[in-house]
């Protein structure tokens, strides 16, 4: 979208059709969304990864609708012109009915433009219900972190012929149900290329190689703000956590040594007023 105008699904579609790679990053609050928008990303994703990198949960499973709305609202304030996609958290789309209710909440209360949910054919009724309700949906197949326990951990998906066929069928079904884009997470790069070639909607890879229509990364991984768990596919472009840690330690040391605050941080009052006070 031209600077200062609202990005839409139409802009995303045009870029995809022009064969240009899409860059997506997560953001969960005002400053991070502002950074993402200013960097020129194609989509800002309020991922339920917020549960791990911001809220300190061990997985994304505990994330609630209220938490997603809270963070989506903040991200929207920071990225008013971006295409903003918000994750439906685990348990919020078990049935088509609660799915539409919760999807609508992410749009009405959170200010999102679209929602994302995890799963293939098992969530087809939910995807159809959302699309019928006028809610744009991004799919997510391959490794689906919300159901990591039932998948047996955070492992590459679709490595066998049988599993790859299932994944391809899931992606096709999601496209047919009306998803405008599909995330492929932790999928062998050649399978991701095959899926991408067979679909007519953009695939967004994370740990899926270079042939997907776009890439998505968790901002805290890109910036080096989360080191509890570092997947192989996480790209680190900066060490913001280390820089922040040094800055805070310096502040603490300066206060301890009375080097902070300095004169430039302090306020004066007229001498006459002070003398009168002391009298
Ligand atoms: O929650 C998230 O950050 C995501 C992306 C990694 C795709 O779902
Ligand atoms: Na997610």
Domains of the chain: residue spans and CATH: 9-238 (3.20.20.60), 243-278 (no CATH)
CA of 89 to the centre of ligand 2 (A): 8
pLDDT tens digits along 53-65: 999 999 999 999 9
Ligand 1 nearest atom to the CA of residue 118, by list position: 8
DSSP, collapsed to helix, strand or coil, labels residue 197 as helix
Alpha helices, H only, the chain: 9-17, 30-39, 50-53, 65-78, 96-108, 124-132, 148-151, 161-177, 189-198, 219-223, 240-256, 271-278
The predicted complex's ipTM stands at 0.99
CA of 47 to the centre of ligand 2 (A): 4
Calpha distance 111→108 (Å, rounded) = 6
Task: Please give all residues whose beta carbon lies within 6 A of any atom in ligand 1, as ranges.
Answer: 26, 45, 47-49, 87, 183, 206, 216, 218
Catalytic residue among 166, 185, 250, 278: 185
Report pLDDT for 223. 97
Ligand 1 nearest atom to the CA of residue 185, by list position: 7
Report pLDDT for 3. 78
Ligand 1 nearest atom to the CA of residue 26, by list position: 3
Calpha distance 32→14 (Å, rounded) = 26
Asked whether the bond before 261 is cis by omega within 30 degrees of 0, the reply is: yes
CA of 263 to the centre of ligand 1 (A): 46
pLDDT at 251 over 80: yes
CA-nearest residue for atom 2, ligand 1, is 47
Report pLDDT for 228. 85
Q: Transcribe 80-134 into DSSP letters.
A: TTS-EEEEPPTTS-SSHHHHHHHHHHHHHTT--SEEE--BSGGGHHHHHHHHHTT
- Asked about 185 being catalytic, the answer comes back as yes
In the structure, ligand 2 is a single-atom ion and the residues with CB under 5 Å from it are: 47-48, 87
CA of 87 to the centre of ligand 2 (A): 6
CA-nearest residue for atom 4, ligand 1, is 47
Calpha distance 179→216 (Å, rounded) = 17
Cβ–Cβ under 8 Å, residues 220 and 226: yes
The values of phi and psi at residue 260, to 5°, are -130, 135
The pLDDT-based confidence of 233 (bands split at 50, 70, 90) is: very high
Cβ–Cβ under 8 Å, residues 116 and 60: no
Report pLDDT for 268. 95
CA-nearest residue for atom 5, ligand 1, is 47
């Amino acid at each position: 979208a031209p600077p200062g105008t609202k990005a839409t699904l139409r802009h995303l579609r045009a870029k995809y059709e022009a064969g240009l790679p899409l860059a997506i990053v997560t953001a969960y609050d005002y400053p991070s969304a502002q950074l993402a928008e200013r960097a020129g990303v194609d989509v800002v994703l309020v991922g339920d990864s917020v549960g791990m990198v911001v809220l300190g949960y061990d997985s994304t499973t505990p994330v609630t609708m209220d938490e997603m709305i809270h963070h989506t609202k903040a991200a929207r304030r920071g990225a008013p012109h971006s295409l903003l996609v918000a994750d439906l958290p685990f348990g919020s789309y078990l049935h088509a009915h609660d799915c539409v209710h919760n999807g609508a909440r992410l749009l009405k209360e959170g200010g999102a433009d679209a929602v994302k949910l995890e799963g293939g054919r098992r969530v087809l009724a939910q995807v159809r219900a959302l699309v019928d309700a006028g809610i744009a949906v991004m799919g997510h197949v391959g490794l689906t972190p919300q159901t990591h326990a039932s998948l047996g951990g955070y492992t590459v998906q679709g490595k066998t012929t049988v599993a790859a066929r299932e994944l391809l069928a899931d992606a096709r079904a999601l496209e047919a149900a009306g998803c405008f884009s599909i995330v492929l997470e932790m999928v062998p790069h050649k399978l991701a290329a095959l899926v991408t070639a067979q679909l007519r909607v953009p695939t967004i890879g994370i740990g899926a190689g270079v042939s997907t229509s776009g890439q998505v990364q968790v901002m805290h991984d890109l910036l080096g703000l989360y080191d509890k768990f570092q997947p192989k596919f996480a790209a680190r472009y900066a060490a913001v956590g280390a820089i922040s840690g040094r800055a805070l330690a310096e502040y603490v040391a300066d206060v301890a040594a009375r080097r902070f605050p300095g004169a430039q941080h302090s306020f004066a009052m007229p001498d006459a007023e002070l003398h009168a006070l002391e009298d």
